[in-house]
Structure 1
Amino acid sequence: MPPPLGFIYGMIIGWRTDLIELVFNPSTAARILSIPLGVHGGPDEFHWPSTTNCHYTCKEGYKDMRNLLSMAEALSSTAVTLEAKFWNFLWSSRALPRCKETCWRAIQGYLPLKERLFSRRVDVDPGCPFCATERENEDHLFIHCPAAKHVWFASQLVVRVASFSTFRELWLAVLELHDEEVLALVQSTVYAIWEARNHTIFQQRQFTMDNVLGRVRCLTEEVRVRDQMRAPSVALPATWKTPTSGTIKFNFDAYYHVNGSTGLGMVARNCNGEVMAAACSYPHSALSPLLAEAMSLRWTMQLAIDLGFRRICLETDCLQLFNCLKAKENERSYLSSIIRECCTL
């Protein structure tokens, strides 16, 4: 008789890892192993994994469809893969937030450009508002348009953008330089071009290169003034409140990586601040950071029982988990199954 699919480890049911990895491909196996299994079991259920309350919404369905399309593009031979370090570098820039957001939207293809609107049956002229010779998309507006070429070459960067075939190639070149000052100037220039485009369309202002370059200088000056006025950050002293006499306080937390790998940790102290127990557990798998926090709570409570503590106080830094514990209704989701087990414990 074959062994059951789940096996008991302490009080937690786990997957047959060897069997899952044998039957499924690595990516599917990793997703399956990230599904938490409860102690008390129960009938199989259909869950919508994109929300914590398991309720389907059109917004979440649209986001899932976009993710599937992005994955399909990434698997194609012509797709440009942008690593996490690219986005970290982009968002850590000294440029103004609106400049960084505009660049992010342009790279992701989220700007409401005319060609994109026309393809979605919006009644607009898809031509470029500056030159009217080609359709307006990210590559043309920021790279190939003669007006954009003049701006880039006359700016402090003195860039000949004709050497780049796409907008993303320009950004990959900026990434390779890894120069924060150049990055901030590129982001400010992209925003100034986008702003001039909107003024041309909606306010019928005439495009001039001097106005765009002047706007870039204004944005750069705003950054300088902001940095001067910003007070140096002072780290707040770490505070820890002692529990009442006879109570053991458990502080717990979870580490979550974007690939789903998760680590759990906790420390228990008495009313005098003395450490009564400390532990960590790794590796685990989770589908989301919130689910990892819930797994850490369940693991901490089980340890408290195993250690013989009965009067305890649990402390977390996850407000969303705290609100889930306070909620009276029980949703059918991966998270709620763990919350119910914590209440049972």
Structure 2
Amino acid sequence: MDGVFTVKSAYHLAVTLDRRRGRWKARADLMDRASWIRLWEANIPPKLKVFVWQIFNRILPTTEALLERRILVLPRCPVCWEGTESLEHLFLDCRVARELWGAADLEHIGEGLPRSSFPLFLKKVLALIHQPTLFLAVVAILWRISRSRNWVVFECKQYSVAALMRQFLQQYEEWVRLPVDTPGMAPVVPETDFPTQEGVPGLICGWDGATRRGSHSAGGVVLMGPNREIHMANGFQFPVIDDPLVVELLALREAVRWCLGQGLSCVQFEGDAKVVIDKIRRAEDRDGRVGTVLEEVLQYFDRTPGFSVRFIGRRVNRVAHLVARKALSLYPASSRYFDYQTWLNSRV
């Protein structure tokens, strides 16, 4: 969509910037795609996501960056006047930054990690953090340090560390109460007794397909409880199929077979392929290019009254999409014995 800054656009813009600067191969601190996805799906305000993106691309207007662009400025940190202001100095070595990290009781974050490159340091720190509130606290501290620096430069105002800490706590409390704009990935729980009573759809099965043009295709299914907690997951690989519609139907067929193999008779299937779902509801195109697979899926639904299907958006169905992409990446090795449950736990 026009005007929307997505994970894909942020990642590719970062790659383009580094290629233009001629240091694509030299940048060890560039975030990989998985890190970008984790950042963009974190429950933090959008301006903080863009702010972290600016840090990793070294486009914050520090005195070091301005001098590199041949802009005449005083080669001193405007806050402490104890050296040239670089990203490393601004967020780690500046007196105000050190005191603010200590006041927030976060000075232990990143102990033992190399600090010669702040983007690389931050990349490793964020990769080690698994608590959403701690993730937000670290980014909020960085935001507060940058804001205090801008106040000094543009407004000639300098606040005490105690005042900055009060502002940090107030803003952190506001941000931590923000509603989650996208459903997060629920932790995988051990297999329990499934609610399979007739007429009571207690289980949800998300499915999705993925294809690599001219190579192969795959599907992913995720079995969830009423609160969308993940019970099980599995992936399937298909022959070379370039038609996304057929791949989505095959993924749904395998999801239905998988649920029947688990002894389930009351499941609501959720997918982001609206065309496929419409065809199933209308029972149309039985003799078309997808007729054979569609006919088989319709027979499963006709024989099992407890099965239903509904459309959801891609962002809601992202867990099944991740499983499908993982099954696709395992080719040519078989994904049959891959432990998707352990892999999903590592992604939480």
- Report the TM-score range of the alignment, normalised by the length of the smaller protein: 0.3 to 0.5
TM-score by length of 2: 0.47
Name the structure, 1 or 2, with higher relative contact order (CA <8 Å, separation 6+): 1
Q: Normalising by structure 1, what TM-score? A: 0.48
Larger Rg: 1
